[in-house]
Structure 1
Amino acid sequence: MERNTMTTPLLMFVLLTLPSYSAHGQVNPFGIPVSVHAGKFYGTSPRDHVCGGLNYDVLEYTCCEGVPHNGAGLSCCGNRAFNLTQASCCEGQLTLNVSQLVSDCCGFRAYDPLNQLCCNSRILNRTHPHAKCCGKECYNEDHQLCCGNIVKGRKVLTKMSSHHRCCGDHQFDQQSHCCCSEPLSPEPLNASCCESSSSNLTEIDASSPNCMPGERPCGRGVNPKTEGCCVNPPSFLVQPYSHHPNSAGTRRHNPGVYNGASCGSQVYNPDIKICCAGKLSNRVLGKNLCCGTTPYAVEERRVLCCNQTLHRGVEAGHQCSPGGHLYLPSREMVCESHVHLNDPGKHCCGEETYNPKDEICCNGHKHRRLGNMSCCGGKAYDPSSGQMKCCAETLYNLQVQDRLSEEAQCCGSVLMEAGSTCCSAPGLDLLYPTQSGFTCCGHRYPNSSLWSCCAGVLHPRTERNTTSMNMIPGPRLLPLGDLKTEDLCYTEVLLGTVESVSVNKNKRSIVMVNVMSMQATCGPVNALPAPQYLTLPDHCSSPELVPGNTYLWVKTRHFSDTINVISDLSDHSSPLHSILFRCSKLYIEPC
């Protein structure tokens, strides 16, 4: 039987629930489901900082098969670099504007299986949430049939009734006819071939879930060269693990000996032996501690166990660093795996040391401190200059981009451009070309005529459910850097941690703790009693909220109780400082 390469919606959702990944600039700690094809494109650049035999700066370039490319933390498709939130790689070929995180491959081209199908290497727009392939066409199995076979070709027929099934390239009513096999044709139920051939084909088909209606499993008297048939996978019997003492691979020992003490695969007597990390040693009175595979005594002098390595002859005052290195704090400092002599005023920055008064440390990379410097990933910049924009640890030069700081917005690690839409889920933001009739649902961008969305969850749209679930416009979820100054600094805002979320009659009730209120820029910051309650009027149109995360709630102007914008500040080490620092740059009169 002919097999298409499409991914059905049900299978797609199963695949997308597999473990997710994290890329440079895309922190995804919440298990947001992504395509199973995304994993192999993470961390493809070499870690030794050598590309094509030459050293390169990992903050500026990505190396793909010995070829350096501008841009840090990109993924590789052969010797080409790409951002997997903006493109996909299929068999060494790039497809733009389709993220690898949500795509599947149709030959050399990528497609979005949420809105498209791959039918015999052709990409077709999905016409129904549960549409399937019929040769090089798509069809709706609720109202249509896919008849024919791989030899004569398949064709889509409109179902005459819910009882009609395929018989070759025709359809028949199984209540009044049967499908005779020689030749393959519909015949009345009283025909002689109906008694002998069908034994009810519908029953055969029902027992073969991989068969199309009117087809039989190959090998049941069907010639696959001339008739439509399908191949079912064999059933595998799982042999139970044998506990017989002579079974291969079974560990044999008498649990009654020495109380069953074992060290790895060996049984031992704890009265005369000691087991340390799977290694047996002769027991010595008092040596009852293990450091890796070495036994030692607590009263032993001048010994220190660092990261499962026992050091002997240690001078007084030595300590173990968090990484397990032996050092003397009075004259040494350990930066990751490197030991440095103490230098007054110096601190660790990665494996090196730096002076915080003159330098700034960004993700293990030190830079000269000039003015009001901040970090963006491993780079340093001055956010007050208006010339640079930081998007999820990726720094953009707005002058090179020919953009103004007021109009520059981020979508995850990507700087948005006109004609694009950013769809966000907790920990994942993806950019899509704007299309009429499409709307965001979490990090996906579905065709709203096929799918409805409720709180970031997709639902197939049916004929009985043609109205949108999103009846009331909900608040937007934006990063702090994209909030307008007048929204953030001239209105009332709340800062709090979500403790729990519940839904009652499509209204979302939120319990918050550690809540602070700020009445515009000049107003005081007040700590509010816990718990605080907040209600969003429409659950479906509101963004997904994660209990335990800290959010900024921006109310509409004139101190209304309506929430206009929500910003997730969970990745900010000090959310209140981030807000006050942003507003402190305004040139305002003293209050």
Structure 2
Amino acid sequence: MERLFLLSVFLGYLAAVYGVDEEAVTISCGDTQYDPVSQLCCEDTIQEKEGIMTRCCNKQSYDATQFMCCKRKVSARNGTLPKCCGDIGYDAAYYLCCRGNVIKKSGELPQCCGREVIDASKQMCCKGTAQGKEGKLPRCCGTEAFDASKQLCCGGNLQGRINSHVKCCRNDSYNPSKEVCCRGVVSKKRGDKPMCCGAEAYDAVRQICCKGNLHPRKDGDTKCCGNVTYAQCKFMCCKGLVERKKGLIPRCCGQNAYDAATKLCCKGNVFKKIGTKPRCCNDTMIDGTKKLCCQGTVKTMLGTNSKCCGSKRVDSLTQLCCNGTVKNKKGEAPKCCGSKMYDATTHTCCSGKLSKANGAKPKCCGTKAYDSVYELCCEEKVRSKKGALSKCCGRDAYDVAHFQCCEGRVEKRQGAKPTCCGRTAYDEAHFMCCNNRLRSIKKSIVPMCCDKVLIDLTESLCCENITVSRKTNTSACCGAEQYDTITQICCNGIVNNQIGSKPQCCGSKSYDAAAEMCCLGQVQMRYGKSPECCGTISYDAVNSMCCDGTVQPRFGLEPMCCEFKSFDAATHMCCVDTILAKDSLVSPSCCRREIYDAVSSICCRGDLFPRRGLEPKCCADTSYDNAYSICCSGFLYNRTGLDSACCDGEYYDKSTHVCCNGMVKENVGINTKCCGPYPYNNDMELCCDGRVQPFVGSNTGCCGCKSYDANKFMCCSGVVKAKVGEIPECCGTRAFDAKLFECCNGILKKRPA
């Protein structure tokens, strides 16, 4: 009752001094009013504040410095890293939340596995089941653990691994060097280029797969057209139908082939090009210099000024097209306004309606015209200008020199610095606008708004929009509370007394930074010459070091961390998570969790082998001497030739063989090259569009997929033709003498004598 009495007195004081209504500062919680200084509104339920950090959780209030809200339930704030596990609070620094269960951390790498905690350095989680790590490559197969270096998991079934190249084909395993997997079916590799056609294996050199159907491959030029094959050199595929190529620019028109150099395709119909500007009009062809295409209808041009107006024809010199309606031009400046014509010297088109042009500079205001020299358009209303500097204020015009616009209402200018407070004009030199309410600043030294109330900062403070009487000149706000900045400190909204020579905050507490330090929200003593934090613990970095949140002793010439432990890198090595001594090794290295000397050994996929030969290297999971062997896609071969190389996983000798499209072929000459999958002698043959063709003269060239003698013949649109006359040239697929004839759009015309 006493608190309510004081609040009513305080509100009465504000009303008397500042002219504020008592109802203006009251706050409602549902249908009930409450005191925001001492109370909280939690889901329409009034709760008493227990401190500055009081918060809501469901319909309850709680102190956020000691508690936390977990799934709408209040739980104690525990430890250095407080978190929620369902509706329970726990310390994440020492515990884990595993499917709603709080379990203490254990082992080097604690992790959750279902509702249990496992040590990930020794165990693994296989679909919620804890399993021990097995072998060199521990992996999961369903809920079972296995060594991937010895076994293979295919569709949840464990298979024996014959070698490192074995792979899965659905539920079965297979050897990719000898077998192929086609839609879950394992088949033996066939031919030089094994591939799949559905679930069937085939040799892509001898066969081709067209929509799941196998066909013989005649050469590298064979392609698919639907379910059938064709030779790309001479034919083309037009919507699933094989057609012979025609002319200089072969194209498809539906299912028909045509020469785009001399013909035109209009919606599936082929026409011979006529005129200088042949084009399509719907499904027919027209000459663009003589005909018009008006919405798919052919119209004869009456002159060079003929244009389309919808489906009609107009003369652009004497007629206008207004929204598809033909109008004869009239007046000095004929223009269109919708489907009507008007003279722009006497009328104006405003939003599709004609209006008489007013004044020297007519403009539109909605559907009406006005004179922009003497009038204004204010929200589609024409208003006369008022003064030299007229502007709009809503639907009214006003003189900027004597009036101002406040939220759509014209107000008289007030003072030297006029501005608006809501819909009222005022002078900033004498008033202040507090939340759209005018307050006089005559009696204030340092005026300031605190919500709807005006305060003097020399006498009061505004703490979270609540006016508080200033106790001293050094007072400041800490949340909704006042404190002295000389003797106190504000930490996360909580007032604390200053401690020591260097007072600072650590979370919501204060501490002396000269003697203490803040480690993840925990105050710890400063130790040694170089104090640092390791999680929530402080340590001296001169004698210790932090390894994954654990303080370890610093020793040796090169102190380093290996997971949670420290070691001297000058005498030891960290292999994965194990510290091993270098001893007398010349070039120490790690091979998973083992240490070895790289001078005498080599590590291949986690396995150690003696370093032998001139050039020791790794090939998959074994070692070899690169001087005498070669590794091709994980398979070893002896170097038996002069120039050893790999061809798609196979070994070959470059001096006797060649690699064509991933297949090894025997050389057919000194200068052997590839034409697709086929070898050819570059000194005697040519590769023409994927086909091997013989030299037929000293100047042999390609014409499509054939070779020809360029001294005697010429290639005309893919067709070999004998040279004609003194100046032989091509016109489409025909040869002609350019001295006697000329080619015009694919048509030969005799030159005038």
Please report the TM-score for the alignment, with normalisation by the length of structure 2. Answer: 0.31
Q: Which has the larger radius of gyration?
A: 2
More helix by share: 1
Please report the TM-score for the alignment, with normalisation by the length of structure 1. Answer: 0.38
More strand by share: 2
Q: Which has the higher contact order (CA 8 A, sep 6+)?
A: 1
